Structure 1
Amino acid sequence: MRRRILLLVFSTTLFALTLLGVVLMTVIWQMTTGAAQSRADGAASKLATDVQAKVALGVRPTVEDLEPFAVSNGAYIEVVVPKDQRWGPAFVLSAGEPFDGAGFVGTAKDDSVTATVAISTASKVQQVVGQGLIVLAISLGALAAAMAVAWFYTRRLTQPFEDFKEFIASVATGDRRGLKKRYGLAEIDMVAEVLDTGVSRFDQMLERERQATQDASHQLKSPLTAISMRLEEIAMTDDLDVAHEEATVALAQVERLAGVVDEVVGVMRGQRSSMPVEFAVDSMVRDQVQEWLPAYRAAGRDLRVSGRDGIRVVAEPGAQAQALATLLENSLAHGAGITTVRIRLTSGWAVVEVADEGDGVAPELEGQVFDRTVSGGGSSGLGLAVARTLVSGDGGRLELISPRPAVFAIFLPALPETEPRAGVGQEPQADVAIAASSAASTSSGNTQRR
């Protein structure tokens, strides 16, 4: 690129200087010829005047009188002296070297004396050639200066492109530290700024993709755990009716599994994987409780639900089900005793509380429990962070309303009720209140930690 720019500057400058030189030489030639003609005319007039002055004084002009004038003017001269009674008939005097060819001839007459002065063109050509050499020397100097300036600026202009090339190559290898260079040229600095901005956005996009993949992977553990428990129930039972019932539930969970990935990844990217719909909170809660019953049964834990029926919200059911599953999973992994899911309505919010009888959240983690990578049990710490994102995606919020024992609550904007709804009652429903059974001896290793 630098060579092409230098070649372009050289050819352009050479053309401009050549054109300028032609114009200058034309002007010089015209000025020189004009000056030579004027000089010949002036010299002839002066010579005629001088000779006439001598004639008037009665002095006969001689060639010796004319030689100094011819030499000083570099010309060939002729003077016609009229006849006079003092020296007889008219005669012609000449001085200087005669020449053949073109020249500048000036003729003047003063009274009866006629003078002719001829200046050779050859002498003027030599003068013009000398001036042309001066013009050529100046042009070569200007060309050299132009190329020096062009070399300096092409180096300054091409260096950023070499840096851009190295920078893009480094980005391709995974180095995304940014260019962080500016060159004092507005246009090139603008390109550098665009490159830095583009790499920064690209880095953010990759980070969002990595985070979305990590979050989706983490959130898949919950439904996979529930499916695993269902399959274990099928493997352990000899009752075909029970096996059929468990298999039906497991198939439904598998069908929902595909939607989990889309919902979680969509929320992490700031996109909606599906449109919010109206649904009953208690229906979503009971579905999740049913899915987690085998896991709680295997751990010898109770899982109960209480509160109001008929509270309706507009949200993504899958996303909110995932958030609730995270709370149930955390309660199973980190809590103890009975886990209670309570549904209530307060100040226009549908509230789903998940509480257990464990030790709760450590005091030093209370303010950071929803931060990514923060965990009190040696796990990844992604669960609650992702759950809060899922809930906030539908205009709700996830809060820790009691640290010890731990009580987490999902708040979603509730739809106005058309008529009063009957409560579930203080006693838990038979299908969701599971007491500890002989399965308590089953290992809790299948449970997932947040």
Structure 2
Amino acid sequence: MIIHKEETFSTDEMKTLQLERLKKTVEKVYKNVAFYQTKFKKANLTPESVKSIDDLQKFPFTVKKDLRDHYPYGLFAVDTKDIVRIHASSGTSGKPTTVAYTQKDIDNWADMVARAIALAGGEPEGIFQNAYGYGLFTGGLGLHYGAERLGMATVPISGGNTDRQITVIEDYKPTVIAGTPSYILKVGEELKAQGYDPRNTSLKYGIFGAEPWSEEMRKLLEDTFDIKACDIYGLSEVMGPGVAMECHEAQDGLHIAEDHFIVEVINPDTLERVPDGEEGELVFTSLTKEAFPVIRYRTGDIASITREKCKCGRTTTRMSRVKGRIDDMLIIRGVNVFPSEIEHYLIQINQLAPHYQVHLMKERNLDIVELHVELTEEIFGQINGNMQHEIIPTIRKLVQHSMKNHCLISMNVKVLPPRSIPRSEGKAVRVIDRRTEALPI
């Protein structure tokens, strides 16, 4: 077991370190970022306003719109000559969010991710198969540098090209694989289709993230590959992957790198902090970033935190698995539900494969939901490919009852043959909003 000293600090030791770094960060952004200086002055705040960790609550929040409004370089705290790397979001819902790193940022990030991979079971003598996408997305390079920093032989295969993923698993004998849970499940599905048993590979640990996933999905991945599956958390605005990581010993919440970040959980409506253990929106303040520090960044991710010591011996604050993003929450006729909640109950239905899509549509000015699900290969074989078989209505009613009973939403359910729902090579597309389309009369 690899445990770093920062992961066993007492509460007082961690707060002392955080306060020292918070003061420097607030002073840095006040001096170098006009956006923050203006916001702080409006709130009658200066760097001298920070005398304790609790004083952070006086400072205004930063939101994604602020990043877009100052695209591309308006929130950078260093000159471009000091920047060695730039990452950005896809920008599919507006201007992309652009973030930057100095060499020290890259070094800190590599250390952070190396620590995260060790938390998940990675060891210096192991081989790391990185199936996260490389490029402007922070996942691929973030995990890559961390694995190398840990001393692992790193295979930069990136996302996609499933046949090559299988070749790497079979020939290179990796001990750890990283990627989105939905895509790695697709790799397992294809291994079986090619006659391999995914449980008989060299893999011991999996690092999965970049999309919300349920405890049931974890069990499915672990059963499919005979591995320990651990959740990793991060987002480009805060740093990238490695902000928090689940330990393989307990698998009971993600350990936050508190020497680099302060975490808060707020009620997204009142903006007040909520008690530990209560779900709310995660808010992060960076403590060591040079190029792109953030003060009280509202992530939009829903989770809770606990400060109880973990069974693994680490003392860092832990966050729950992300339930979903505020933007992803479906509001159907007054009922709120996250796709991860739908997944939670669907995976418990044995006749269905762990792939689904939620289609949102309009009918007579009312929102309706059509849930697309897939049969398993085994059930499909039992009915000899006859999608009119009497078992189909039974499964449809079972799904409808489960969704109504647990998620409180009435859904139309479309039962499909195996492999009918598109597989993603990155983040799974779970929700298709068709409410602007005209439905056939």
**Same fold judged by TM-score > 0.5?**
no
Larger of the two Rg values belongs to structure: 1
More strand by percentage:
2
Q: TM-score normalised by the shorter chain: which range applies? A: under 0.3
More helix by percentage:
1
TM value normalised by structure 1: 0.22
